[in-house]
Amino acid sequence: MLNLGSWVVAHVDRVRLLPDVGARFADASSSAAMSTLFKALFPVAAYLALAPVLWLFFRRTWRELDVEAHEHQRRTLAAGGYDRRPAVLFTITALVLMLQQYYGGRAVYDEHIRPWLREVELAQTLSPTGPLLPISLRRYDELYSYVWWSFTRVFGYVAIPMAAWKLFFPKDSLLDMGLRVRGLAKHAWIYLLCLTVVVPAVFIVASSPDFGTYYPFYKQSSRSWFDLIAWEVMYFAQFFALEIFFRGFWLAGLRHTLGSGAIFAMVVPYCMIHFGKPYLEAAGAVVAGIALGSLAMRTKSIYSGFLVHVTIALLMDLLALSHRGALPRSFWGT
């Protein structure tokens, strides 16, 4: 009994503290839950706030597209025809996205490309005439993997859909997929307007903790200006291919069938390719997809959207490097 009494006396203060600990734990859990809920629902509030802006700016474009699609469908049905474009386009899209998901990543590079590069590197060291292809896996292995990634994006977003489309619709001009440069200077003000809206948002997002660790994708970008420039060239190339695919191929292929609905249909796969990136960026892809898609329909060109995309992408990479004090200090590095 004495021992039990001593134990109670020794631990009575700890027992009294238990309610306080529980209360603090409950407060912390509640705060974390509210923060998570706010972050999860923030895009919904942002969509509701931006919807009237998008409607006011693009409503005429959307109506013109719907009228054009209605007339096309009426003529097609009156002639007893069937528009194959949606079926062909959706099938091509599924194929392209599957190939990129399963064969356009690091696993295929490690299994097939890297062993070949190792053989080339070995051959160049044994060659008496010197290296034909200057390969250095020790230094540039990660960069080479992104060369493969960029190539699969450009090939998948451009070569496959363009070739398949001409096979099914030989009379269609590929230049009509937003690739004509006529009138580009006329719409430069729209590009500048988009930047004035988006750039402040980028600076706000750049303050989040996961932003600095996520960008740039190529983690050796801070090693040298060569690394950073090489990465940005590949990054820009895949952005150009992405714009061709989603704002050119998709919208040109569906505008006569779905009208303005083609823009909102395009947003679904466009948002999905952002899965795995920071949540707010994936959520922002919905608004960006609608705005850039409507802009491409209005100007009949992908170039304004491409310029917006690469400007923001470059700014995000530079901000991420700058915030962690990792901007390159020499051209080749050490």
Residue 65 inside a domain? The answer is: yes
SS3 300: coil
Supply the range of the domain harboring residue 104: 45-323
**Mean pLDDT lowest for which of 10-14, 110-114, 143-147, 326-330?**
10-14
What pLDDT is recorded for position 205? Answer: 74
pLDDT given for residue 25 in this prediction:
52
DSSP, collapsed to helix, strand or coil, labels residue 281 as helix
DSSP letter for each residue of 302-323: SHHHHHHHHHHHHHHHHHHHHH
* C-alpha 94 chain-centroid distance: 17
Q: How far is CA 24 from CA 17, 18, 19, in A?
A: 11, 10, 9
- Domains contained in the chain, number: 1
Q: Is residue 20 part of a domain?
A: no
Query: Domain for residue 137, yes or no?
Result: yes
pLDDT of the residue at 247 = 96
- The model's pTM is 0.86
Distance CA 290, CA 292 (A): 6
Distances in Å between the alpha carbon of 61 and those of 66, 289, 298?
Answer: 9, 15, 6
Examine residue 119 and state whether it is found in any structural domain, yes or no: yes
Q: Which helix (H) or strand (E) holds 138?
A: helix 137-154
Name which of 263, 284, 299 is nearest 191 in CA terms: 299
- Residue 274: inside a domain: yes
Please check the confidence at residue 303 and state whether its pLDDT lies above 50: yes
Structure confidence by residue, pLDDT tens digits, 62-75: 999 999 999 999 99
> Residue range 225-247: average pLDDT?
96
Residue 216 pLDDT exceeds 50: yes
pLDDT in tens, 72-91: 999 999 999 999 999 999 99
**Listed residue (320, 298, 75) closest to 206, CA to CA:** 320
The answer to whether position 18 is within a domain reads no
List of residues 6+ apart from 216 with CB closer than 8 A: 228, 231, 235, 317, 320, 321
**Does the residue 27 lie in any domain?**
no
**257 three-class SS:** helix
| Mean pLDDT across 9-14 | 47
Band of residue 10 on the pLDDT scale cut at 50, 70, 90: very low
pLDDT value, residue 24: 57
Tell whether 304 is covered by a domain. Answer: yes
> Rg of the Cα trace of the chain?
27
